[in-house]
């Protein structure tokens, strides 16, 4: 049960024995506070400045609303605003006013300070209504007489009042048990509808991701071309020259020709080794033949940094998943050796239901940033292309933890 909606569908018993009812109350109660502030603050934001008030003064309220959705399950909503094309306040304001999400935010705040505020108050009132009914029942059954002595009703009246109180309590408790969670789900769904990144943000993200992938593919193509030219091609040219020389020496000096043929064999082996190393960088044969666990174990054996591997992979995975995971681990090991000055690296993970989760942790200096061209940006795009996530945690001083989460079926 990862969300409040899913918890409601799991059945009353599981729902009421969980923390979700309390989270629903917390969401609505905090919504009353935020809605009250919005009711007071929004008119101020609309009146302050010509073109400044709405996007600037409503910024903290909208940011808080995006964070509050975690109470209903799932991650907090991300900020869908794009980076301004022009620097300065004027450029920022122009960018904000040109985005549809700005007006969706304004519509949500207007609703939150009016209709949603009233609904949240009603829902929260249902939570405390049973307490008020109990207090009212106790007061009516023992109300003070004019002379100061308590005037107790007869037995029949007491029974009637008690039955009415119990029935009222039951009705209020049942109503609160369902109305409060449903109100929280409705409020949260509206928040996600209006505050979450829309289609324009998804298109923008895909466009940027596609551009980065194209750049990465071009860089990789040039690397392969350079490696072929400087490595295998040179060995093959030398091999050709050696064979021609051996042919010329064959009649006059057979011993020299044999020596040249031995050299040609060495040059052929060197060219083959270069090609195998190049192919390993594109798609290693061990990954194709034996799978991800064996390929990662080979990476660990060839790493200059000591690597501990603990992968629980009972069976082979789709080739796309294995290839993506392999190159993420490759990049993580490369960064640990080149940039982190790590002394040990630990690779753990396995299958979690329908997902493959792998964690690469090193004890290096930390401070890694995927946006600084460490190769992780391109990998993140590649992971995103198969509906996975790549999370980097690297505080200054370490440790650096790279977590890969990939769906591997259905």
pLDDT tens per residue, range 97-118: 777 788 888 888 889 889 999 9
pLDDT at 345: 92
pLDDT of 265 > 70? The answer is: yes
pLDDT of 136 > 70? The answer is: no
Q: Identify each DSSP E strand in 293-344 by its residue range.
A: 307-312
364 CB-side CA count, 13 A: 27
pLDDT at 106: 84
Q: Tell me which residue of 58, 3, 10, 75 sits closest to 389, measured CA to CA.
A: 75
Tokens of 32: 């009353």
β-sheet with 307-312: strand ranges across? 307-312, 345-352, 355-362, 400-407, 389-393
In order of 4, 32, 101, 127, 177, the CA distances from 20 in angstroms are 6, 18, 30, 14, 11
In order of 24, 238, 241, 274, 276, the CA distances from 231 in angstroms are 64, 11, 16, 6, 11
Torsional class of 371: left (φ above 0), alpha (ψ -120 to 50), beta (otherwise): alpha
pLDDT of 348 > 80? The answer is: yes
pLDDT at 145: 46
Q: How far apart are CA 25 and CA 76, in angstroms?
A: 18
Torsional class of 133: left (φ above 0), alpha (ψ -120 to 50), beta (otherwise): alpha
pLDDT of 358 > 90? The answer is: yes
pLDDT of 409 > 80? The answer is: no
- What domains can be seen in the chain, in order of their start residue? 4-142+154-197 (no CATH), 201-281 (1.20.5), 285-407 (3.30.565.10)
pLDDT of 51 > 60? The answer is: no
Q: Tell me which residue of 268, 275, 273 sits closest to 239, measured CA to CA.
A: 268
Residues 6+ apart with CB under 8 A from 28: 120, 123, 124, 180, 183, 184, 187
Residue that wins the pLDDT comparison between 171 and 376: 376
Residue that wins the pLDDT comparison between 259 and 6: 259
Q: How far apart are CA 151 and CA 224, in angstroms?
A: 97
């Amino acid at each position: 049960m990862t969300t409040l909606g899913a918890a409601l569908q799991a059945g009353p018993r599981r729902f009421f024995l969980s923390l979700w009812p309390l989270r629903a109350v917390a969401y609505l109660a905090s919504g009353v506070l935020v809605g009250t502030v919005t009711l007071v603050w929004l008119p101020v934001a609309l009146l302050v400045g010509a073109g400044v008030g709405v996007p600037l003064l409503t910024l903290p309220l909208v940011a808080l609303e995006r964070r509050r959705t975690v109470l209903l399950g799932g991650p907090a909503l991300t900020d869908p605003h794009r980076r301004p094309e022009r620097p300065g306040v004027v450029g920022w304001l122009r960018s904000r006013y040109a985005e549809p999400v700005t007006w969706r935010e304004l519509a949500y705040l207007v609703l939150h300070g009016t209709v949603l505020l009233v609904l949240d108050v009603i829902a929260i009132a249902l939570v405390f209504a049973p307490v008020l009914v109990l207090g009212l029942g106790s007061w009516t059954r023992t109300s003070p007489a004019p002379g100061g002595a308590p005037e107790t009703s007869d037995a029949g009246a007491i029974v009637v009042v008690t039955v009415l109180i119990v029935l009222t309590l039951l009705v209020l408790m049942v109503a609160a048990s369902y109305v409060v969670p449903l109100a929280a789900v409705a409020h949260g769904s509206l928040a996600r509808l209006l505050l979450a990144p829309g289609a324009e943000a998804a298109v923008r993200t895909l466009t940027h991701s596609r551009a980065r992938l194209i750049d990465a593919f071009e860089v990789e193509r040039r690397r392969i071309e350079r490696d072929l030219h400087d490595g295998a091609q040179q060995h093959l040219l030398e091999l050709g020259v050696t064979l021609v020389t051996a042919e010329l020496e064959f009649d006059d000096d057979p011993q020299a020709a044999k020596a040249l043929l031995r050299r040609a064999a060495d040059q052929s082996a060197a060219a083959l080794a270069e090609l195998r190393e190049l192919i390993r960088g594109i798609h290693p044969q061990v990954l194709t033949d034996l799978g991800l666990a064996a390929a990662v174990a080979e990476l660990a054996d060839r790493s200059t940094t000591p690597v501990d591997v603990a992968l629980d992979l009972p069976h082979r995975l789709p080739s796309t998943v294995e290839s993506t995971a392999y190159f993420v681990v490759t990049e993580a090991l490369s960064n640990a050796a080149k940039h982190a000055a790590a002394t040990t690296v630990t690779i753990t993970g396995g299958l979690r239901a329908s997902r493959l989760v792998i964690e690469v942790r090193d004890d290096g200096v930390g401070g890694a940033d995927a946006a600084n061209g460490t190769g992780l940006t391109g990998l993140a795009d590649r992971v995103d292309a198969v509906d996975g996530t790549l999370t980097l945690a690297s505080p200054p001083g370490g440790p650096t933890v790279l977590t890969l989460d990939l769906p591997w079926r259905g």
